[in-house]
Structure 1
Amino acid sequence: MKIDLSGKTALVTGSTTGIGFAIAKGLAGAGAEVVVNGRKPAAVDAAVAELQRAVPGAVLRGAAADVSTAAGCAALVAAVPEVDILVNNVGIFELKDFFDIPDEDWTRFFEVNVMSGVRLSRAYLKGMLARNWGRVVFISSESGVNIPVEMVHYGFSKTAQLSVSRGLAKLTRGTNVTVNSVLPGPTMSEGVKGFMKEVAEKTGKSVEAAAAEFVQTHRPTSIIARIATPEETANMVVYVASPLASATNGAALRVDGGVVDTIV
């Protein structure tokens, strides 16, 4: 099986680090022209440079924009008017007791995790339909199915992504455009790595031991019994973004290590 994305342009939001960076690297490795996005120009430039070293000959460009706002999304679309592949990856998370989550946090999570994808899909999906080829991928989470009690606001935003993704897929009926969601489980992104380092420092354990204990305690249904790598999620995204996934549409594809305890 060979995935060839030559001639395709892909935009990955929030791709300067973590899962987004791994997705950008995977798409570039498959031959796509990749637009790297982040809020800060310096971070975008650094990510582009690192990707260039990792994937020699890759066609890359940076587009700094804060997609958590309508103005930021508009600026990104103005800079990159057309794409073949849109990966709505940008997202935030935090652990917070439900009774301590103020209204503004609910709004912030909705704007970043949900509305960024809504606005960009609205901007790019019409062009995909007109050209009769395209891929939209939402990076949701197993937390959108198993709502975590320690971050209900995060889980709610990830469930909302699943609803948007499924609804948009229905707009592509009879075309060569697909819209899908990918649901990672606990993944060793920079944010999670930082959290695990804090836990390790407080408990006197190694980062590896802290990560294993987190999975055992908070995601005991995990079948792989470990935190996944960003590359493992990226592999699924690259496949879904490719012509080989032409019959996969409107799906919620789990890369959760078996955390969601269901047979479907």
Structure 2
Amino acid sequence: MHIDLTGRTALVTGSTQGIGAAIATGLARAGARVGINGRTKERVDAAIAKIGARVPGCDLVAVAADVTTEEGARAAADALPRVDVLVNNLGIFGSADPLEITDAEWRRYFEVNVLAAVRLIRQFLPGMAERGWGRVQNIASDSAVAIPAEMIHYGVSKTALLSVTRGFAKQAAGTGVTVNSVIAGPTHTGGVEDFVYELVDRELPWDEAQREFMRLHRPQSLLQRLIEPEEIANMVVYLASDQASATTGGALRVDGGYVDSILP
């Protein structure tokens, strides 16, 4: 399948590293103009240099803004007034004793993982609908469906994001704009390496630590390994394409079979 996003402009939030950077790279490789987002100019510029080296000649736009705030969302819209493909990738996660999570921490997870996406959808969806074409994708998690005991606040925020997706897909009905969630499974990123070592012996070499983490904490995985960020990006690039025009309102899994379900 040949995916050509030439002439499309994408914004990927939280795209200076990890899954976001892989998604931005995949979209750029498919020909899209891509807004690279992070909170500081230094991080954004460094990410643009790395992605530019991987995809020579690509068109990247610096979007240095904290999109978890109203001011940051406006700054992102100023940097990229027209967005055809919005990928709400930005998110925070971490383990915590469920009985020790404070109200403030619950609010922080909602603000970052849910409201930031809602705010940007409100910003860019009307223009997409006016033009008769657009793609909104919210990066969710297997934790939205199979909520881990040590990550209840994270899981609940991602469950809410699935509802946000379905609701806005209905709002966009008949406009040529699709709205979907991508349910990412346990993925190999720098942040996840830190998380793994919170739960297993820090003295273990990485390969052993990864296997031990999957065995003890994610035994449902059919892959029995962490997913690579590029594997998530492949689904996002497809959903951003014309070929995915009939897929909307969905929650598509790239979870390595982690969620025990016969439905997507």
Range of TM-score over shorter length: over 0.9
Matched letter for residue 186 of structure 2: P
CA distance, structure 1, for counterparts of residue 197 and residue 158 of structure 2? 25
CA contact (8 A) 1:35 1:60 kept: yes
The aligned counterpart of 1:102 is 102
Pairing 1:24–2:24 present: yes
1:239 is aligned to 238
TM-score when scaled to structure 2? 0.97
Matched, 1:212 2:215: no
> In the alignment, residue 37 of structure 1 is paired with which amino acid?
N
d(CA) in 2 for partners of 1:231, 1:114: 24
Larger deviation, residues 19-28 vs 189-198? 189-198
Question: Quick one: which amino acid aligns to residue 18 of structure 1?
Answer: G
- 2:166 aligns to what? 166
Query: Which portions of structure 1, spanning 4 or more consecutive aligned residues, are displaced by more than 6 angstroms?
Result: none
Tell me which moved more, 209-218 or 141-150.
209-218
Q: Report the equivalent of 2:149.
A: 149
What is residue 73 of structure 1 aligned with on the other side? Answer: 73
Give distance in 2, aligned partners of 1:106 and 1:197.
23
Is the CA contact (8 Å cut-off) linking 1:196 and 1:207 kept in structure 2?
no
SS, match of residue 140 in structure 1: strand
Q: How many residues align structurally?
A: 263
Partner SS, residue 11 of structure 1:
strand
Other structure's SS at 1:150 match? helix
- Secondary structure in 2 aligned to 1:62? strand
CA distance in 1, matches of 2:132, 2:215: 45
Which position in structure 2 is the counterpart of 1:2? 2
Give the aligned residue type for 1:229: E
Distance, in Å, in 2 between the alignment partners of 1:99 and 1:69 is 28
Partner of 2:182: 182
**What TM-score comes out, normalization by structure 1 length?**
0.97
The CA distance in 2 between the partners of 1:148 and 1:34, in whole Å, is: 34
Residue type at the aligned position of 2:11: L
Q: Is the 8 A contact 1:37 1:62 kept in 2?
A: yes
Local SS of the residue matching 2:175: coil
Match of 2:137, SS state, is strand
* Structure 1 spans left out of the alignment, 5+ residues: none
Looking at structure 2, the residues matched to 110 and 199 of structure 1 have their Cα atoms a distance apart, in angstroms, of 24
Q: Could you tell me which residue of structure 1 aligns to residue 254 of structure 2? A: 255
AA partner of residue 211 (structure 1): Q
Structural mapping, 1:121-132, within 5 Å: 121-132=121-132
Q: Is the 8 A contact 2:65 2:72 kept in 1?
A: yes
> Cα–Cα, structure 1 residues 24 and 63, in superposed 2: closer, same or farther, change >3 Å?
same
Identity %: 57
Q: Per-residue CA shift, 1:169-190, capped at 9, x if unaligned?
A: 0112222110000001100112
- Residue 196 of structure 1 and its aligned partner are, at CA, apart by 3.4
Equivalent residues of 1:27, 1:238 under 8 A apart:
yes
- Report if aligned partners of 2:62, 2:79 keep a CA contact under 8 Å in 1: no
Residue identity in the other structure for 2:255: D
CA contact (8 A) 1:145 1:260 kept: yes
Query: Where does residue 224 of structure 2 map in the other structure?
Result: 225
